[in-house]
Structure 1
Amino acid sequence: MEESKRVFINSVQTVIPAEPTPRPRTHFLSNLDLIYSDVIYDPNVYYFKPFGNVKDSCDLILGLKDSLAKVLVHYPVLAGRAKAGEDGRLYVDCNDEGILLVEATADARFDEWKDLKDCPIEPDLNLGDVTIEDYSTAPLLRIQVTMFRCGGVAIGYGWSHVCTDGWSATEFMKSWSEVHRGLAITINPTFDTHLLKARSPPSVQRPVKDYVFTQKISDAISVVEVPSIATKLAAKTFYFSVSAVNAMVQEVQNGPWGYDRPTSFEALAALCWKAMTEARDLPDDTITTYSYPINVRGRWDPPTPPGLLGNGAHLSCLGVKSGDIKHNHLSYAAKLIRDDKESSDLEYLRSVVDLLEIEINEGRSIGFNSDFYAGTDVQGTNFASFPVYEVDFGFGKPLHFSFTLDPLFGNGIAVILPTPDGGRSRYVSVSMAEEHMKKLSKNGLFTSFLGEDDIQEARLL
Structure 2
Amino acid sequence: MSNSKVTLHSKLTAVSSKPVSSGKTHTLSDLDSAMAFHTLHIIIYYNNQDNFFVSSDLSHLRESLSKVLTSYPTMTGRLATGVDGNWEVKCNDAGVRVIIATVDTTLHQWLSSASASQEKLLTAWDDMPHDPSTWSPFRIQINSFEGGGVAIGLSCNHMLADFSFLASFFKSWTETHRHLPITYPPSFTPLLNHSLPPYETTTKQPPTSPPKMATTTFKFSSSTIKQCLSKVHQTCPNATPFDFLAALFWSRIALLKPSTNHHQTHSLTLCTDFRSLLKAPLPIGYFGNALHFSTVSQKMENMMDSDQLGDTVSLVHEHLAGLAEEEIWSAIEGGKKLKSPSCMYGNELTCVCMEHLMDEANDESLLYAAKFGNNERPAHVTCQVGNVRGEGLIIVMPSNEGGVARNVLVMLVEEELAELSKDEVVLQLEPTVVLAGCGVVDH
- Give the TM-score category using the shorter length: 0.7 to 0.9
In structure 2, distance between residues paired with 1:393 and 1:292: 33
Distance in 1 (CA, whole Å) between partners of 2:435 and 2:29 is: 43
Q: Write the mapping of 1:306-325 to structure 2, written as runs, cut at 5 A.
A: 306-325=284-303
Equivalent pair of 2:99/2:141 in contact (CA under 8 Å): yes
- 2:334 partner amino acid: L
Q: Does 1:288 align with 2:266?
A: yes
Query: Equivalents in 2 of 1:98, 1:369: separation in Å?
Result: 29
Aligned equivalents of 1:30, 1:410: Cα separation in 2? 25
1:73 matched to 2:70? yes
Displacement of 1:337 in angstroms is: 1.8
On the 8 A contact 2:36/2:341 being kept in 1, the answer is no
Partner of 1:12: 11
| Structure 1 stretch displaced more, 161-170 or 91-100 | 91-100
Matched residue SS, 1:108: strand
Please show how residues 292-441 of structure 1 align to structure 2 within 5 Å: 292-326=270-304, 329-356=308-335, 359-360=336-337, 364-365=339-340, 367=342, 371-372=346-347, 377-384=348-355, 385=358, 386-395=365-374, 396-404=376-384, 408=388, 411-441=391-421
Letter of the 1:10 counterpart: H
Q: Does 2:90 correspond to 1:93?
A: yes
CA distance in 1, matches of 2:302, 2:120: 36
CA distance in 1, matches of 2:161, 2:272: 15
How many residues in Structure 1 have an aligned counterpart in Structure 2? 426
Amino acid at match of 1:380: C
Q: Which amino acid aligns with 1:392?
A: K
* 2:225 alignment partner, SS class: helix
Please, which runs of 5 or more residues in structure 2 have no aligned partner? 359-364
Percent of pairs with identical residues: 27
Whether the 8 Å CA contact 2:164–2:285 is kept in 1: the answer is no
Cα distance change, pair 170–117 in 1 and its aligned pair in 2 (3 A): farther
* Residue 144 (str. 1) matches residue 141 (str. 2): yes
CA distance in 2, matches of 1:190, 1:54: 30
Aligned to 2:213: 233
Alpha-carbon shift at residue 151 of structure 1 (Å): 1.5
- What amino acid is the match of 2:128? I
Q: Give deviations 1:235-288, integer Å, cap 9, x for gaps.
A: 21111111221222233333xxx2331111111111110111112344436553
Q: Please give the residue correspondences for 1:249-264 in structure 2 after superposition, counting only pairs within 5 Å.
A: 249-254=229-234, 258-264=235-241
Separation in 1, partners of 2:98, 2:435? 35
Which residue of structure 1 aligns with residue 362 of structure 2?
Answer: none
Does 2:240 correspond to 1:244? no
Distance in 1, Cα, partners of 2:217 & 2:109: 17
* Cα drift, residue 10 of structure 1: 0.6
Provide, for residues 373-421 of structure 1, a one-character-per-residue CA deviation record: whole Å limited to 9, x for no partner: xxxx322123352412110121511111112466656642211122221
The match for 2:254 is: 277
> Which stretch of structure 1 is more off in the superposition, 95-104 or 430-439?
430-439
What is the CA distance between 1:132 and its match in structure 2? 3.2
Alignment of 1:206-217 (within 5 A): 210-211=200-201
Match of 1:219 in 2: none
Q: Deviations over 1:53-109 (max 9, x none)?
A: 8993325x2111121111111000111222222322222222212211001111111
Cα distance change of structure 1 residues 349 and 248 upon mapping to structure 2, 3 Å threshold: same
CA distances 1:14-44 after superposition (whole Å, capped 9, x unpaired): 2221221112112132233222122x32111
1:43 maps to 41
Q: 1:227 to 1:20 in 2, by over 3 A?
A: farther
Q: 1:102 & 1:406 partners in 2: Cα distance?
A: 20
User: 1:16 and 1:287, CA in 2 relative to 1: closer, same or farther beyond 3 A?
Assistant: farther
What TM-score comes out, normalization by structure 2 length? Answer: 0.86
Unaligned runs of 5+ in 1: 215-223
Cα 1:37/1:434, change in 2 over 3 Å: closer
Relative contact order: is structure 1 or structure 2 higher (C-alpha 8 Å, sep ≥ 6)? Answer: 2
- Any conservation in 2 of the 1:193–1:308 contact (CA below 8 Å)? no
Relative to structure 1, is the Cα distance of residues 445 and 111 closer, same or farther in structure 2, using a 3 angstrom cutoff? closer
Alignment match, 1:198 = 194
2:361 match: none
Residue in 1 that maps onto 2:170: 173
Tell me if the contact between 1:127 and 1:144 (Cα under 8 Å) persists in the aligned partners.
yes
Given that residues 266 and 297 in structure 2 are in contact (C-alpha distance below 8 angstroms), is that contact kept between their aligned partners in structure 1?
Answer: yes
Alignment deviations for residues 172-226 of structure 1 (CA, whole Å, 9 cap, x no partner): 01101111222222222121124x4439xx9x9xxx9655678xxxxxxxxx888
Q: 1:161 deviation in Å?
A: 1.6
